[in-house]
Amino acid sequence: MRAYLFGLFSLILFLSGCGVNEDVEKSSPIIEQFHNHFSTRSYDTIYDELLHPAWRIKQKKAGFAETMEKFRNLTGHYISGSRAGYKLHSSSSSGTTLIVTFNAEFSNGEVVETFTLQKRGEQYKLHGYKFTALGPLKSPKTDSA
């Protein structure tokens, strides 16, 4: 009986973990697109295509672009990075929220990025973004992008 319960418990854990991995993998293209558009200063594209409608209601496009430009001037362009962790939260009232932390290298230094993604239908949209520098960032440089 004990072996049966252990097997059943293991199966439940395995099946519940499958959905998490699928959700985490769905975040990868959004983060990649964000980095590409951020590096080329395509803030309108980020706003129009990647942002969750709730964020667009709270912040107008011009204010979003201004904030992103300040971030971009601090960090420089994106070079590389990797997912450091994630947290998935699901509720009947707020839906599914995925928070992904990303260790990233930018031309002016290294940062930890936090992407908050909110599920809209079967697709995730960016609901929040912040970064924390892991050390002093170099002085902003003028670059071609």
For position 24, what pLDDT does the model report?
84
pLDDT-derived band at 33 (thresholds 50, 70, 90) equals very high
pLDDT-derived band at 13 (thresholds 50, 70, 90) equals very low
Q: How far apart are CA 113 and CA 111, in angstroms?
A: 6
Question: Does the pLDDT at position 9 exceed 50?
Answer: no
Task: Check if CATH label 3.10.450.50 holds for domain 27-133.
Answer: yes
For position 3, what pLDDT does the model report?
52
Give the gyration radius of the chain's Cα atoms. Answer: 18
Report the relative pairing of strands 109-120 and 95-106 from DSSP bridges. Answer: antiparallel
Per-residue pLDDT of 39-55, as tens digits, reads 999 999 999 999 999 99
Per-residue pLDDT of 81-135, as tens digits, reads 999 999 998 887 778 899 999 999 999 999 999 999 998 788 899 999 999 999 9
For position 103, what pLDDT does the model report?
97
Beta partners for 47? none
Question: DSSP letter at 50?
Answer: I
Query: Which carries the bigger pLDDT value, residue 55 or residue 26?
Result: 55
> Residues 86, 80, 58, 45: is their CA dihedral positive or negative?
negative
For position 107, what pLDDT does the model report?
95
Q: How far apart are CA 90 and CA 140, in angstroms?
A: 39
Kindly list the domain boundaries of the chain, sorted by start residue.
27-133
Beta partners for 54? none
